[in-house]
Structures are given as structure tokens and as C-alpha cells.
Amino acid sequence: MFWGSWGMWDDRGMLFSVLVEVSLREGVADPQGATIERSLPHLGFDGVREVRVGKSIRFDLEAADEAAARAEVADLCQRFLTNPVIEDSVITVTEGASA
Amino acid sequence: MFWGSWGMWDDRGMLFSVLVEVSLREGVADPQGATIERSLPHLGFDGVREVRVGKSIRFDLEAADEAAARAEVADLCQRFLTNPVIEDSVITVTEGASA
């Protein structure tokens, strides 16, 4: 009587906490980073160089195991979360839900 | 004859690679994350929950030592890189320039 009553989480397996850091590829102009870099000396912060601004995307993912989770996130990145022409992504997958 | 000729890097000390991850505080609405979360099931990705989109800011920083670098970055975050009312930041400082 109870099977199926545990919600959609449980039929897939384990829960993973995922971080995708999306950054512009080297050589791609980063006006946001350039603006920060140009402004900081006027604001009293010297010694800051090579500022690059990217996105960080965090989510929880239910998957059968870690390999499946990594494969799904890689596919997700390639297809929807990044523009592979101008962006790189670094994927971090850890077991357990985010805090 | 040569002192002062090494550029502004050398009179401050060591070079650090800094990552600042800026995320919206818990409870603050994240429309960008919500849109991603709502769309993914239609695109064939189930099991993704709690999507939160933030910023990642990477830069190189010249400072006397690691403690000085961390203090400068914390000040920078508090004053310019985040809006402390709605955003949290996680700072990672490692020795050496970024790749």
C-alpha cells in the first residue's frame, strides 16, 4: 500500500550537492571584470589584477550514484547552463544536500 | 640604480589567487534560479532542486602575507563586491597567481 508514497526523490537514489562555476574562456573580453579592476585603485584597493566575473550555480540533484550525477551535470552544463563557445565550467559534485 | 624598477608588484610582497563566491542569502527570492529549476524537467532533466544562481569573482591580489590578503578581500567584499543586505560571500585565498 505504501510503495510509491515516498515521493519522487526516492525512486532515483542518492542526493548530491552540485556547484557549477561558469567562467568566460581565456581571451574572451570581460567588461564587468575590467570595470571592477579599473575602479578599485580609486577606491583605495591597490594590487588587484586579472579580475574575471563568472556565475556560480548551486543545486541539489537526485541520481543513482556519483558517476550518474556527474554525467547528468556535464550534459546539463554543455547544453543549457553554459555557452561552450565563450564559457568554461568547473563542476563540483558532493554527496548530501546543500546546507 | 635598480630599486623601484621591478614594478608595483614587488614592493608589496606575495601574490595570491582569490575566489569570491557571492550568493543570495537564504530566503531572498532567486528568479534566475527558479526559472532554471522550472525549465529543466521540460528539457529532460529531472531531479534538480534548490537551484540558486550567484556570482564568482576571481582575481590576483598582491599583499604582504596571507592574513593581509584575507583582510583586504573581506573588506573589499563587504564594501564593493557584495550587497550585505541580500548577499553572502565565501572567500577562498590561495598562494600563487591564477592559471
The per-residue pLDDT of chain B, averaged, comes to: 88
- Measured in Å, how far apart are chain B's first and last C-alpha atoms? 33
Between B1 and B37, name the one with better pLDDT: B37
Choose the mutation target among B9, B43, B49, B70 for the interface with A, i.e. most A CBs under 10 Å: B49
Domain boundaries, chain A: 14-95
Whether A48 has a pLDDT exceeding 70, the answer reads yes
Chain B residues with CB-CB distance to A87 below 8 A: none
Contact of B8 with chain A, judged by CB distance below 8 Å, is answered with yes
Letter string b/e over residues A40-61, b meaning 16 or more CB atoms within 10 A of that residue's CB: beeeebebbbebbbbbbbbbbb
Tell me the pLDDT band of B61, cut-offs 50, 70 and 90.
very high
Is 70 exceeded by the pLDDT of residue B78?
yes
For residue range A53-95, what is the model confidence (pLDDT) as tens digits? 999 999 999 999 999 999 999 999 999 999 999 999 999 999 9
Q: How far apart are CA B95 and CA A57, in angstroms?
A: 25
Across A24-43, average pLDDT: 95
Q: Mind listing the pLDDT tens digit for each residue in B4-30?
A: 434 444 556 899 999 999 999 999 999
pLDDT at residue A60 in the model: 96
Q: What is the pLDDT of residue A12?
A: 66
**Predicted-complex ipTM score:** 0.82
How many angstroms separate the CA of residue B42 from the nearest CA in chain A?
12
Inter-chain residue contact A50 with B23, CB threshold 8 Å: no
Write the secondary structure of B55-75 as one string of H (helix), E (strand) and C (coil).
Answer: EEEEEEEEECCHHHHHHHHHH
CATH architecture of A14-95: 2-Layer Sandwich (3.30)
Strand-pairing partners, residue B76, are none
